[in-house]
Amino acid sequence: NAGVTQTPKFRILKIGQSMTLQCTQDMNHNYMYWYRQDPGMGLKLIYYSVGAGITDKGEVPNGYNVSRSTTEDFPLRLELAAPSQTSVYFCASTSSDSRQETQYFGPGTRLLVL
């Protein structure tokens, strides 16, 4: 099992450009999450999904969009990149929505918007 994979590992964007951060998991997990981590801060939830076709906003969804057409994939779309979106982005998944389930994290995507 590869677990949770993310591509790309690093990307530089110009202001106003768009891009999609890819996230794939091979553990057949229903629940998937996107977080951003700013320097010196914890993880803030952007969007999450409880299954294919179902997504919901987290704490900081503005400027992002997601889709979940399959169980495995949960891409994050940035439409008009802004310097405030410079961050490290983590995708995570978990098998069930219960209080004891830990999350499995991808390696992260470092994004720089100039």
Partner 1 sequence: AQKITQTQPGMFVQEKEAVTLDCTYDTSDPSYGLFWYKQPSSGEMIFLIYQGSYDQQNATEGRYSLNFQKARKSANLVISASQLGDSAMYFCAMREARGGGSYIPTFGRGTSLIVHP
Binding site for partner 1 (CB under 8 A): 33, 35, 40-45, 48, 50, 58, 88, 90, 92, 97-105, 107-108
To partner 1, the closest distance from the beta carbon of 99 in angstroms equals 4
Instruction: Identify which of residues 35 and 85 has a Cβ nearer to partner 1 in the complex.
Output: 35
| Minimum distance, C-beta of residue 91 to partner 1, in the bound complex (Å) | 11
33 vs 64 by CB, closer to partner 1: 33
Rounded to a whole number of angstroms, the minimum distance from the CB of residue 18 to partner 1 is 24
- DSSP-derived secondary structure letter, 101: P
The answer to whether 51 and 71 have CB atoms below 8 angstroms apart is yes
Percent of the chain as helix, strand, coil, to the nearest 5 = 5, 50, 45
Q: Give the torsion sign (CA, 41, 46, 52, 110).
A: negative
